[in-house]
Every structure is written in C-alpha cells, then in structure tokens.
Amino acid sequence: MAVLLSLNVGMPVEVDWRGRTVRTGIVKDPVPGPRFVHRLHIDGDGVADTAGHGGPNRAALVYQAGSYDYWRTHFGRDDIAFGALGENFTVDGLADDAVCIGDRFRIGQAEFEVSQPRVTCFRAGIRIGEPQMAALLVAHHRPGFYLRVLREGQVEAGDEIVQIEGGPEHMTVAEIDALLYLPDKPVEQLRRALRIPALSVGWQGSFRDLLDAAEKPTVVSPGWAGFRRLRIARVVAESASIVSLHLQAEDGAALPAARPGQYLTLRVLGAGEPAPVRNYSLSSMPGAAQYRISVKREEHGLISRYLHTAVRPGDWLDAAAPRGEFVLTEAANPVLLISAGVGVTPVLAMLHALAGTEREVWWLHAARRPEEQAFAGEAHEALAKLSRAHEHVFYSAEHRRMDAAALKELGLPAGATAYVCGPAPFMADVRSALADLGIDDVHTELFGALDAITPGVVGEQRVPPHPPPGPVGPGPEVTFARSGLTVPFDPIRSPTVLELAEACDISVRWSCRTGVCHLCVTPLLSGSVSYRPTPLEPPPAGSVLICCARPESELVLDA
C-alpha cells in the first residue's frame, strides 16, 4: 500500500546562485497536519516561475522516498531531507517505473491524476548543491511526476494512497520521460503517448513535434560544413543605398540550393580584426546556381561600408552554408509577403519560389520613396506572372504608411500565412495589426540575438554584448555572430560556452544547464566542441548545446 509520508510546501524565495539572484519555489519543507489542496495549489505553497511550473497540469509534484534512498547512496550523503527536491508529496511507493500517465489516485479527501513527469530545470539541484541533478534525474530514470487535481480536499502526511483508476496505454512516468529526453524515439511509442488524454498539453505538443519530424523530416543539413570561399561574380546597385553581391563557387559549379527565406553568414576578412561575421538574407531565386545577397549601406556600419566600397568582382568572401527557419512552407492558403526597406530580400526569394503556383499572394512593401525602393521592377514582374497576386507599396515620403489602418483597409484574407521582414518595431507593429485582423500565423525574421530565456533569474538589466571583464582567456576564439563579438575562451573562468556568453552579456536561452532540455541549442557555423557532461541526447548536426560545450577549435556560433 502506498502512503503519503511527507506533505511539503513553501512559498517562492530569492536565493543566491553563482552571484545571481534566482526566484524559485524549490524550497519546500514538511508541514504537520492537514492542508487543503485546490485545483491550482496547496495551501501555503507557491510557484515562482509559472512558465515552467504550476497550473492545472502541475498542481502537485510527487517524489518517492525510494529515490531519496537512491540519491543518498549515489552521493554518499545522509543530509538530503524530504522536500529538498521540491516535491509536495514524498511518498512510499508509486515508483516512476510503475506509475503510469493517466493513473488516478485518492489521497485523503482529494483525487488526482498523473499528468506528466517533472520538468528538467537547473533549480532541481539548487537546494542540495548538486548542479548535475537535472540530468541525473533523467539519466537514472527517477524524475518524479506531477498531479492534476480532480477533486479538491484535505490531505495529510500518513494518508493512504489508493489507486482508483489506471491510465490508458500503460506508459510509465519513466518511459514517457525517457521518450522525450533520451535518444531513440520509436514512432509507435510517440503515437501511444499521444493517445493518453491525461498527458499535459505541453508534453503532447513536444511529442507531436517529434512525431511530425519523424514522419515528415524538414531538417535539412547545411549545404557544407564551416566556411568556404565564394567568389563575387557581380556587384549590382539596386537603389541609392543597396547593392547586391552575386556569389559563385570557386569552380563555377552550382551552389547547394537554399530554401526560400534563408540567410547566408559571411565572415568578412578585411573589414576588421578579428574578421567580423554577419548574416544576409538570400534574395536569389531558389535553385539558382549563384547566390545573391543585398546589403544596405549603414552610416556607421563597418561591414556594410566595406562591402559597398572595397569589394570588386573577382574578390572572395568566406561564407557559411545557407541556414534559417524563416522559410516559405508549402501550403495552399493565401500568403502575405510583407517587408520594409532591405527586409524585402528574403520575401523576394519566397516570391520567386511561388512562381507557377495557384496560391493567392499579397505583396506589401514599405519604402521611404520610389527611388529608394530596391527590386521594385523585379518584384512587379514576378507578381504579374501569378494568377492571384495583389501588390501594394507604401511610400512614407508620400504620407502613405503601412500601419494598422492601412492593413485593415486592404481586406486581407483570413486564414493567410504572413512572412514579415524589416526593422524590429515594424515587425512588431505588423504582427499586432495582423492579430487584430485575426491573422495569427505570422513568421518574422530576426537578425539580432534571440530574446533570452533565463528561468527564475531576476533583477538583471540587459546591456550590449562586450568582452568578458578581466584578463584575456588563453583558449580558442569564439565568435557570437548575431551579437557581433569575438572573444577568446577561458576554461577557468567560464568553463562552458554558455558561461562565456553570459560573461559577455550575450542573450542566451537555457533551462537545465546539463545537456538535457536542448533549450540552449545553437547553430554552429564552424569549429568543433567537446562536451562535459556529455548530453543525454546529442543535438542535431550543425548545432551545439552550449550549456555543456567547450571549444576544441575556433568557433563561430549563430548567437
């Protein structure tokens, strides 16, 4: 018979963690007597990070006394007390490899349903001072699990735990956890998991994505590894401020096809020391033998000035293979190609890719004045060949802006997919205007760093990227391409690439910091890394998990 051994609660607190402040609900302690369990919480208990914890699917976390025994032996410690791993219910019985998603239990007056395994997160090890805990919970198949509350009521340590129903498919917590986080994801197992209605929406979404990826693989390996030399075949002025560079292979052979909307990463030797790295969208026709990028001259832009004034046909540039997920997907619904200024380049490639289709296409472009509009003739010509095309150009110098009112007047089709590229405020305004019109399938291209995800870290101000303080590291150079920064690695002060990025205030995304969750996955443009610890599942080819990576050579990351 299973028993609730300890009922643990705690309100969020702020703790020091490596010189930073983290707000966390991990600090839970046993309480005597009964507590009322509500749909979303237990009296006296709280959630700090609602993105990763809490909500109806994660109302109470369960962990087994048997696993505490296991970890005490594993670490050779006897000071790990119930509640230290953040669980609300410490139980005797209900092992992760026996309890199934969808099982229902009565504890005291309340009834519960098993909804998902614990989410891996660096905070799992904060209280016991074991930074690898997030990975260990998964690797040792002892994650613990969450309960959804079916009937509210009082519970108390000492209550019997009575199973009232078994979950469909009989997939245990340990099985489901391994299916998400460990290698080998048989399609039939993914389908079984998706047949469990009790599985939380978030985990269902992850399994659906994995199943889609297995059934319709869309991940295409980069056309080549690292950087290769491309020769400038032609330089063409497109407007007063934009030039196009046509690039070809050294031997003149056709270059690997890029998907419409992808970008090329250039390392511009000669424009600075160390050589700066920048991304430029491809505007060429998909499948063309050469690539075309288009560069706007920026007043203080070191690289754009160099590309406008110093390069000539016959010169060489170092380029990494086309990459990027801002790509036109095949569908039959109307498509909106929306751009401002030089943001026209990726949507121009998409427009060319739509040639010969029956798809309804809306071309919406914002420019200051006609003479500053690049590719006006080329776009117009391509649109004229489509059977269902609409073309609208907005010149701000003529007091015609692409604002919410103007978009509303157009009568854009509901159910359209929009691809938007331009300055960040423009994309934000367009996205919001489209949402008001009921168009939510909106894709945008962002060349700067992605928004950071740093769960629980509070009170930090964003500052522009900079070299790390202190002496220059002795290791290989690491280039963060989106952030425009190259710095030497320092294995002592920043033992991982993630820690180096943090020392430079580069925008980063992470959760487990131990190679489990893959949130920190970053495209690797060139170089090689080793891992410590080794990730439980390696990242896709051409990418790196920066939380546990160390450079083995000079690195260029798309970060």
Q: Which residues bind ligand FES (CB under 6 A)?
A: 510-513, 515-520, 545, 547
What is the nearest approach in angstroms of ligand FES to the Cβ of residue 52? 12
What is the nearest approach in angstroms of ligand FES to the Cβ of residue 187? 24
What is the nearest approach in angstroms of ligand FES to the Cβ of residue 454? 10
Residue found under tokens 């009296």:
43
Nearer to ligand FES, 142 or 518 (CB): 518
Nearer to ligand FES, 92 or 537 (CB): 537
Strands 442-444 and 417-421, by their bridges, are parallel
Nearer to ligand FES, 366 or 520 (CB): 520
What is the nearest approach in angstroms of ligand FES to the Cβ of residue 450? 14
H/E stretch holding 338: strand 335-340
Distance (Å) of CA 427 to CA 142, 143, 268: 44, 41, 28
What is the nearest approach in angstroms of ligand FES to the Cβ of residue 551? 16
Residue found under tokens 């293979």:
321
H/E stretch holding 444: strand 442-444
What is the nearest approach in angstroms of ligand FES to the Cβ of residue 514? 6
Alpha carbons 29 and 462: distance in angstroms, whole number: 35
Nearer to ligand FES, 391 or 537 (CB): 537
Alpha carbons 497 and 559: distance in angstroms, whole number: 11
Q: In sequence order, which ranges of 182-340 are alpha helices (DSSP H)?
A: 187-194, 201-215, 302-309
Nearer to ligand FES, 336 or 547 (CB): 547
Nearer to ligand FES, 58 or 509 (CB): 509
Alpha carbons 299 and 103: distance in angstroms, whole number: 63
The DSSP result for 484-552, as a single string, is TEEEE--TTT--SHHHHHHHTT---B-SSSSSSS-TTEEEEEE--EEESSPPSSPPPTTEEEGGGEEES
What is the nearest approach in angstroms of ligand FES to the Cβ of residue 179? 17
H/E stretch holding 136: helix 133-139
What is the nearest approach in angstroms of ligand FES to the Cβ of residue 522? 9
Q: Give the contacts of 4 (CB within 8 A, at least 6 positions apart).
A: 89, 90, 91, 107, 108, 155, 156, 157, 158, 159, 160, 161
What is the nearest approach in angstroms of ligand FES to the Cβ of residue 546? 7
The residue among 65, 88, 83 whose CA lies nearest residue 29 is 83
Nearer to ligand FES, 100 or 545 (CB): 545
Nearer to ligand FES, 119 or 354 (CB): 119
Q: What is the token pair recorded at 435?
A: 């949402």
Q: What is the largest CA-CA distance in the chain?
A: 81
Alpha carbons 283 and 286: distance in angstroms, whole number: 9
What is the nearest approach in angstroms of ligand FES to the Cβ of residue 529? 12
Nearer to ligand FES, 207 or 510 (CB): 510
Residue found under tokens 């991982």:
496
Nearer to ligand FES, 443 or 482 (CB): 482
Residue nearest to ligand FES (CB): 547
AA letter at 402: M
